[in-house]
Amino acid sequence: MSRFWSPFVKQLVPYVPGEQPKVENLIKLNTNENPYGPSPKVVQAIQAELNDSLRLYPAPNADALKAEIARYYGVSTTQVFVGNGSDEVLAHIFHGLFQHGQAVLYPDITYSFYPVYCGLYGIEAAPQPLNDDFRLSLADYLQPNGGIIFPNPNAPTGVGMSLQDVEAIVQGSPDSVVVVDEAYVDFGGETAIALVDRYPNLLVTQTLSKSRSLAGLRVGFAVGHADLIEALERIKNSFNSYPLDRLAIVGAVAAFQDQAWFERTRTAVIDSREQLSAALIELGFEVLPSQANFVFARHTQRDAAELAQGLREQKVIVRHFKLPRIDQFLRITIGTEVQNQALISALKTLL
Ligand SMILES: *Cc1c(COP(=O)(O)O)cnc(C)c1O
């Protein structure tokens, strides 16, 4: 803290990202990155862009990428917004579509950036408790609100929601924007993009960080009614005209064009998840049903913080949240077969 800080900055509570350790040889299962690399075509496209053109600004509206996403999902380019990671897209959503003087609803156990954005933009939040199965109670989302947001599948639980339930929430609040954060949808969920033409209050966000192995490139997007997209464009053009650089634009386009790589890697993650879940259950864990690239598991006998520490001593890092209701869970990112095996061996030593 310093006397130069504004009162606003003094009261901010920033997001704390998962650790990116500097030491080598750690098995890193703590931040839901993809264990496989991006498509080689993405790397080629970025390398081909490494030339004199870097002296020029990128296309301010990343038109090539918007066109590619529109083609991929069968929507119009006016229904697509792109940003520097979906975190930035979410920030503009909170700023531009959630400030209506009424509380925004989201689950009590969810992505911890939502309360941070509420703090940043002065938005009141009303977290709604997940039920004992860690599912959303639909009735909670029928109360008056200034907006609704939830991930599907949810994080950090991995639990998914049917499209029918998503639609019920969207229908229940026709006068506010409902945002479905689909960061993990490609690992077994159902996308709500299919519904955007029918609901002008529905906005779906996705990221290339997880299922397309591009967390380091920072590309995310939103799909929804053109009027919602226009609000996001107004915010973006009042903040940073060029959120996506030249490398990000060509890399992201190439990622959508290599469907075979996408299918192969996401199927490998899904298969490994099922194997890892079974192995964890055998070791005495209770594992929530996951549709994501991670599992959320608690041991029936052993303390989660101690297990996380014991794993770290064996060079395996997983995520533990010291939060009410979930402090006995570990969130474990699905790794390669070899990494998952190392995790299981380390757990066997501890148990
Ligand atoms: C990872 C994640 C994001 C952010 O993704 P980026 O595109 O890397 O900013 C958004 N929402 C949820 C639920 C996530 O887990």
CATH number of the domain within which 78 lies: 3.40.640.10
On whether both 124 and 153 belong to a single domain, the answer is yes
Claim to verify: residue 105 and residue 65 sit in the same structural domain: yes
pLDDT number for residue 315: 95
Residue 302, number of CB atoms within 10 A of its CB = 17
Looking at the structure, do residues 267 and 282 belong to the same domain, yes or no? yes
Are residue 112 and residue 176 in the same domain, yes or no?
Answer: yes
Measured in whole angstroms, how far is the alpha carbon of residue 271 from the centre of its chain?
20
pLDDT of residue 128: 98
pLDDT tens string 296-338: 999 999 999 999 999 999 999 999 999 999 999 999 999 999 9
Report the pocket of ligand 1 as residue ranges, CB < 6 Å. Answer: 85-87, 111, 151, 155, 181, 183, 207, 209, 215, 220
Atom index in ligand 1 nearest the CA of residue 208 equals: 7
Same domain, 76 and 190: yes
**127 and 62 in a common domain:** yes
In ligand 1, the atom with minimum distance to the C-alpha of 151 is: 13
**331 in the same domain as 228:** no
Residues 295, 301, 303: CA angle, nearest 5 degrees: 70
**Spatial contact of 193 and 75, defined as CB atoms under 8 Å apart:** yes
Residues 267 and 216 in one domain: no
Per-residue pLDDT reduced to its tens digit, 209-255: 999 999 999 999 999 999 999 999 999 999 999 999 999 999 999 99
The number of distinct structural domains making up the chain is 2
Cα atoms in the 13 Å half-sphere on the side-chain side of 86: 25
Residues 27 and 61 in one domain: no
CA-based Rg of the chain, rounded to a whole angstrom?
20
Whether residues 159 and 278 share a domain: the answer is no
Å from CA of 201 to ligand 1 middle: 21
Pair (27, 45) in one structural domain: no
Q: Where is the domain boundary, 257, 292, 315?
A: 257
Looking at the domain assignment, is residue 7 inside a domain? Answer: no
Q: Could you please report the per-residue DSSP string of 102-160? A: SPEEEESSS-THHHHHHHHHT--EEEE---TTS---GGGGGS--SEEEEESS-TTT---
Looking at the structure, tell me whether residues 227 and 301 fall in a common domain.
Answer: no
Domain that holds residue 286: 19-37+260-350
Task: Write down which residue in 236, 257, 278 finishes a domain.
Answer: 257
Which of 94, 113, 209, 296 to probe ligand 1 with, by most ligand atoms within 8 A of CB?
209
- CA–CA separation, 181 and 325 (whole Å): 22
pLDDT band for position 276 (50/70/90)? Answer: very high
On whether the CB atoms of residues 200 and 79 are closer than 8 A, the answer is no
